Structure 1
């Protein structure tokens, strides 16, 4: 079974499961290691599947609201302003992702939908003494954003563009990133 087929099977198993499914159970079912499952889940998330981790396993979360991928560029000092702008306009920042030339796609789930969420994220980032994922790509990064309507997503995109943060995606990025 190839990676794409295995990831489709993971989604199928999560859709049918009445309760969270552990990484170990998915690994046994699919005949791979738990680490392969962790990698597959990361790829599924980057591909737009709402796979959430709980303390009892993975679940599939469906958000029916419109979703859009924005490519952005700015320095680390503008992260708070960018995230506040998005949530203040009714968006939820699902994740942050970079497309590194050597390491490929790397992403992290965020789930930021309010100023309080953003403040908590910024505090955790500061307390951890870790750097931003976008630091690996000179400030270039992507966010999947969901909102109540396409019009809200359009307005968020316009506001990001007005601030000079929105960057056009290349043909390659449009084809490979979702």
Structure 2
């Protein structure tokens, strides 16, 4: 197990020590889970249990160890975060508090979040949807359809107002 593998999210979470601790434990548990050595199973049970107790029970961050997550994951606050273990999350993704990424019909009917996506607080993404690279999903949005790369999604209607100089008193 390499230190670089454990700290691949560290710099992306500079200034967020809670996120750094959660993600180091997450990466350690992932590495131990994938290791075939005889000592890895007992170590995984110890680290995985510690991760689960700290992240889920204490901090309210439900990010299962078996979830496929790219490097540079950014957690902002994290409280109330729920991710289905079958979801796939790319590199450099930002997850804020209250985010739910889950299935819709079947256990494996889960989203794919591509690289560089930012999810606002209380975003819900459910079902077999793909969120394209560098998309931005605004706070409170509920996403049940694919989102193209570099798109912005927000929960409310678009309101177009005339420029300040065009307004009548």
Superposed pair shares fold, TM > 0.5: no
Q: Report the structure, 1 or 2, having the larger helix content.
A: 1
**How high is the TM-score relative to the length of structure 1?**
0.28
Which structure has more RCO (C-alpha within 8 Å, separation ≥ 6)? Answer: 1
